[in-house]
Amino acid sequence: MVNGLCAFPLTPLNQRGIDEAAFIRLIERLVAAEVDSICVLGSTGNYAYLSRAERARVIQLAMQHAGHIPAMAGISALTTKDVLDLAQDAQQAGAGAVLLAPMSYQKLTADEVFGLYETVAHALSVPLCVYDNPGTTHFEFSDELHGRIAQLPNVASIKIPPVPTDPEAAKARVDRLRALIPSHVSLGISGDVCAATGIEAGCETWYSVIGGLFPHTALSITRAAQAGDSQTAAKLSAQLESLWALFRQYGSLRVVATAAEILALAESPCLPAPLQPLTGQARQQLARVLEPLSLR
Amino acid sequence: MVNGLCAFPLTPLNQRGIDEAAFIRLIERLVAAEVDSICVLGSTGNYAYLSRAERARVIQLAMQHAGHIPAMAGISALTTKDVLDLAQDAQQAGAGAVLLAPMSYQKLTADEVFGLYETVAHALSVPLCVYDNPGTTHFEFSDELHGRIAQLPNVASIKIPPVPTDPEAAKARVDRLRALIPSHVSLGISGDVCAATGIEAGCETWYSVIGGLFPHTALSITRAAQAGDSQTAAKLSAQLESLWALFRQYGSLRVVATAAEILALAESPCLPAPLQPLTGQARQQLARVLEPLSLR
């Protein structure tokens, strides 16, 4: 798995389905900015709302336009059978790695989640990133379970949920997990708000939502944090506080999707119903936040 | 929507997909017991794990074997588009009503959930039951939202989550909701453990998990509660406490699925992976619980 900034682009939709032109534009922005890697069909890429055929098409488009940037694809689904099918599709389309969350309807047990990863890991021929996102999967990994899964073949990274905002507490959290997983398995931070803190705490990768839309902005934070310049990284991140506040209030997906619409990078609405982009005052507030930030 | 016992059968799986013979046997048990209605493709019917074609086939089989018993079908999915497709399939297959939960991946807002029900309700030609199940959808309906949705065309019932165990608190809870919804919209109780309490508190229907596997047992409780014989209903329900304890520990779906396997009503495993039926000591414990109860 590639260290640094892994950018998660939206999969913009329109009345006809996937807005391929808009999606390709987003990928091209990431390539031009030279992000370290791209992950399509993450939560920001709306994987959960797309059909198998749509997902295969998204990966195909990403591989056609990602150039030399390594690309990973989400393969999560509610059944092990569907995950295996999606893994096969992703590999056939040329994805360099896959991302797997324990998506759930019925609350899953630790044994069931281990069983899912065990089956899928053994079936893969590319690296696997374990996607730990309790906000959408409603599954809480224990560190012990992460340790067990990290021993499986092909497991190469863990995308962890936000770390504490306090740098020492963040480092303690990352150290605790790091002690339980093999050294060849990298840790990556999710939750853009705490990305700088996460990298300084020892995460090798930032699995980034804003990186998918504003790669230069995300790269500035990443490079400062990677260089150990925690002051600059923290300052750059703090400059986006008005955006992070909207993330907290409306969820990062609705905010970046609406930002893409405002910037004419996607049609409106670009989210799959029943999800709705921001409207009315919230949308105006986002437009007011975006303007002075000059994100790119 | 039919008052009384609405039985939710499993959709048993085997290595080849839906175990049609086992599913038909379950439907025939319900017809022989003369439950008041049947709902296929509820959470117990594993709707979330089945493809559109599989779901259409389940409804077709149910309609072929339900005889004179009214049958409802679950149409929930993550996108409004898929829900509309499933609604059309259910109506074409002859389902007498449909059940819709606000299934989620990204946490939904109240406006998004209202928008889903508004779109679907207007597209339907059969009654709709609103499925309020925060344990699986992770969406918490406010009473005010229930009131708004209940005004939509075709909305005929609300399947509510468990009520408090205290009868007075349960009645207060049902009264509070009842005051906000039109009189033609019925209330039905979920959570088998509190079904007797729910009916006595004013719920007209028991949307029942054990009713799908042990219809006579569920009917005994239903009839006593409907007759106002709260003492008998409570006693009959209390007799199942060892079963309810397993429901609380492992989830009702794993318990009834494993019970179906133990009773040779389904092959093992009959659940879609990564979900697993009970194994080892838990399975033995269930077998020990089932024997003296003589459920049927």
Q: Encode pLDDT of B24-80 as tens digits.
A: 999 999 999 999 999 999 999 999 999 999 999 999 999 999 999 999 999 999 999
Average pLDDT over every residue of A89-98: 98
Among B212, B290, B156, B249, residue whose Cα is nearest residue B37? B212
Which backbone phi and psi does A217 adopt, to 5 degrees? Answer: -60, -45
Closest residue to A274, CB basis, from B43, B108, B254 = B108
| Closest chain A residue to B252, measured at CA | A106
CA B6 to chain centre: 7
Q: What pLDDT, on a 0 to 100 scale, did the predictor assign at position A5? A: 98
Cβ contacts of residue A45 below 8 Å, gap of 6+? A8, A9, A10, A11, A39, A58, A74, A212
Interchain CB distance below 8 Å, A276 and B106: no
Q: How many helices (H) and strands (E) does chain B have?
A: 13, 10
Q: What is the mean pLDDT of each run of 10 residues along chain B (296 residues)?
A: 93 97 98 98 98 98 98 98 98 98 98 98 98 97 98 98 96 98 97 95 97 98 96 96 97 98 98 98 97 91
Whose tokens are 């609406």? That residue is A258
Report d(CA A210, CA A10) in Å as an integer: 10
What does R_g of chain A's alpha carbons equal in angstroms? 18
| B81 contacts chain A (CB < 8 A) | yes
CB distance A201 to A167 below 8 Å: yes
Residue A272 confidence (pLDDT) above 80: yes
Among A161, A154, A118, residue whose Cα is nearest residue A139? A161
Strand pairing of A13-14 and A17-18? antiparallel
Q: What pLDDT, on a 0 to 100 scale, did the predictor assign at position A243? A: 97
Among A135, A184, A200, A180, residue whose Cα is nearest residue A161? A135
| B79 contacts chain A (CB < 8 A) | yes
Q: Is B228 helix (H, G, I), strand (E, B) or coil?
A: coil
Q: What share of chain B is helix, strand, coil (3-state, %, to 5)?
A: 50, 15, 35
| B248 contacts chain A (CB < 8 A) | no
pLDDT tens figures, A116-139: 999 999 999 999 999 999 999 999
Report d(CA A34, CA A219) in Å as an integer: 9
Residue A89 confidence (pLDDT) above 90: yes
Cβ contacts of residue B214 below 8 Å, gap of 6+? B295, B296
Q: Is B1 helix (H, G, I), strand (E, B) or coil?
A: coil
Report d(CA A55, CA A37) in Å as an integer: 19
| Closest chain B residue to A43, measured at CA | B106
| Closest chain B residue to A78, measured at CA | B49
Interchain CB distance below 8 Å, B112 and A275: yes
Interchain CB distance below 8 Å, B272 and A79: yes
Q: What pLDDT, on a 0 to 100 scale, did the predictor assign at position B2? A: 83
| A43 contacts chain B (CB < 8 A) | yes
Residue B267, Cβ neighbours under 10 Å: how many? 16
Strand pairing of B4-7 and B37-40? parallel
Contacts of A80 in chain B (CB under 8 A): 272-274
Buried b (16+ CB within 10 A) or exposed e, B72-105: bbbbbbbbbbbbbbbbebbbebebbbbbbbbbbb
Q: Which helix (H) or strand (E) holds A197?
A: helix A195-200
Instruction: State the smallest CA–CA distance between residue B274 and chain A in angstroms.
Output: 5
Q: Which helix (H) or strand (E) holds A65?
A: helix A52-65
Domain A4-238 has CATH 3.40.50.1220: no
Interchain CB distance below 8 Å, A81 and B273: yes
Q: Where are the alpha helices (DSSP H) in B1-109?
A: 20-33, 52-65, 80-93
Residue A117, Cβ neighbours under 10 Å: how many? 23
Residue A34 confidence (pLDDT) above 90: yes
| A110 contacts chain B (CB < 8 A) | no
Tell whether the torsion through CA atoms of B159, B160, B162 and B167 is positive or negative: negative
Interchain CB distance below 8 Å, A273 and B111: no
Average pLDDT over every residue of A268-283: 98
Among A41, A16, A17, residue whose Cα is nearest residue A26? A41
Q: What pLDDT, on a 0 to 100 scale, did the predictor assign at position A95? A: 98
Instruction: State the smallest CA–CA distance between residue B289 and chain A in angstroms.
Output: 22
| A106 contacts chain B (CB < 8 A) | yes
CB distance A6 to A41 below 8 Å: no
Average pLDDT over every residue of A106-111: 98
Q: What pLDDT, on a 0 to 100 scale, did the predictor assign at position A94? A: 97
Inter-chain CB pairs, A–B, below 8 Å = 87
**Which residues sit opposite B97 in a β-bridge?**
B72
Between helices A80-93 and A52-65, what is the axis angle to 10°? 30
Report d(CA B217, CA A108) in Å as an integer: 29
Average pLDDT over every residue of A199-226: 97
Q: What pLDDT, on a 0 to 100 scale, did the predictor assign at position B15? A: 92
Q: What is the DSSP string of A228-283?
A: T-HHHHHHHHHTTHHHHHHHHHH-HHHHHHHHHHHTTSS-SS-SPTT-----HHHH
Q: What pLDDT, on a 0 to 100 scale, did the predictor assign at position A135? A: 95
| A102 contacts chain B (CB < 8 A) | yes
| A107 contacts chain B (CB < 8 A) | yes
Contacts of A276 in chain B (CB under 8 A): 109, 111-112, 115
pLDDT tens figures, B153-178: 999 999 999 999 999 999 999 999 99
CA A209 to chain centre: 6
Residue to test with chain B: of A10, A138, A275, A281, most B Cβ within 10 A:
A275
Report d(CA B91, CA B253) in Å as an integer: 26
Contacts of B109 in chain A (CB under 8 A): 276
Residue to test with chain A: of B105, B114, B133, B271, most A Cβ within 10 A:
B105
Average pLDDT over every residue of A191-195: 95
| A14 contacts chain B (CB < 8 A) | no
Residue A251, Cβ neighbours under 10 Å: how many? 21
Contacts of A43 in chain B (CB under 8 A): 105-106
Interchain CB distance below 8 Å, A49 and B79: yes
CB distance A187 to A178 below 8 Å: yes
| Closest chain A residue to B112, measured at CA | A274
| A145 contacts chain B (CB < 8 A) | no
| A251 contacts chain B (CB < 8 A) | yes
Contacts of B106 in chain A (CB under 8 A): 43, 48, 136, 251, 253-254, 275
Domain B4-229 has CATH 3.20.20.70: yes
Instruction: State the smallest CA–CA distance between residue B26 and chain A in angstroms.
Output: 22
| B230 contacts chain A (CB < 8 A) | no
The one-letter amino acid at B107: K
| Closest chain B residue to A81, measured at CA | B273
Instruction: State the smallest CA–CA distance between residue B145 and chain A in angstroms.
Output: 16
pLDDT range class, residue A294, cuts 50, 70, 90? confident
Average pLDDT over every residue of A25-52: 98
